[in-house]
Homo-oligomer: A and B are copies of this chain.
């Protein structure tokens, strides 16, 4: 019995006000349209559910994949293995898999990508994480420019691409080892920089902890940090910012 049913019964006298109040109070969360609010939120924000594939049983993954594809007409999975891809491909031959970013997806055709996000990586070894960010943002409708291998130990390579970087609504800075890229970028652009430490490195890089600390301690303004290797999270937040920046343009 949902809220409307209760109200109808009150209206027609089948239920007392006290009984109704009691019922409503007992189910404050499940009955009050939460699922709807949640659905509303998805529709409004345009962020469909994304699958974190790592460690998921193949059969189980296939089911989730199929359910979202049916609901949304497209589906995005991160950290998928080659064998997970091959398993899904048997049922959905149109599925795409990128061996570098470990992203698996079926994407709607002719998707328009708007606004602008720049994804920068310090080294070539950081590119898988950078691609996870870039492809996530693209799947969610952002236009993405990639600027790779611009680590601060060769600062001229970064400076040479400055104008492109500065033209974005949001910059994603992906770096392992010393992670100084975010600080340098933060001083060069006036848009938010989302820093992604990567687990690339050895020795005292501590699987990304060193880069994480560098980024969280940045002296530059406008930098915030996501988890180590969390390209997806950076691509998601960059899209939120990019959408805020472009939302009025659509109305015009």
Contacts and interface: CB of A to CB of B under 8 A. Distances in A.
A55 interface: yes
B17 A183 contact: no
Contacts of A188: 155
Interface stretch (A69-77, A89-97, A104-112, A241-249): A241-249
15 contacts: A28-B29, A28-B34, A170-B244, A177-B219, A180-B180, A184-B184, A191-B240, A192-B244, A201-B217, A203-B229, A221-B236, A224-B225, A224-B233, A241-B241, A248-B248
Contact of A160 (B30, B47, B154): B30
Nearest to A32: B28
Contacts of A153: 183-184, 186-187, 218-221
Contacts of A58: none
B28 A33 contact: yes
A26 B161 CA distance: 11
Given A190-B47, A202-B228, A178 B32 contact: no
B247 A152 contact: no
Please name the 4 residue pairs, one residue from A and one from B, whose CB atoms are nearest each other, closest first. Answer: A248-B248, A203-B228, A180-B180, A29-B159
Contact of A163 (B26, B195, B213, B229): B26
Interface string A179-218: 1100110111011101101010111111111111111111
Counting chain A residues whose Cβ lies within 8 A of the other chain, the interface size class is: 35 or more
B208 A203 contact: yes
A4 interface: yes
A150 to B, nearest CB: 11
B29 A33 contact: no
Nearest to A227: B203
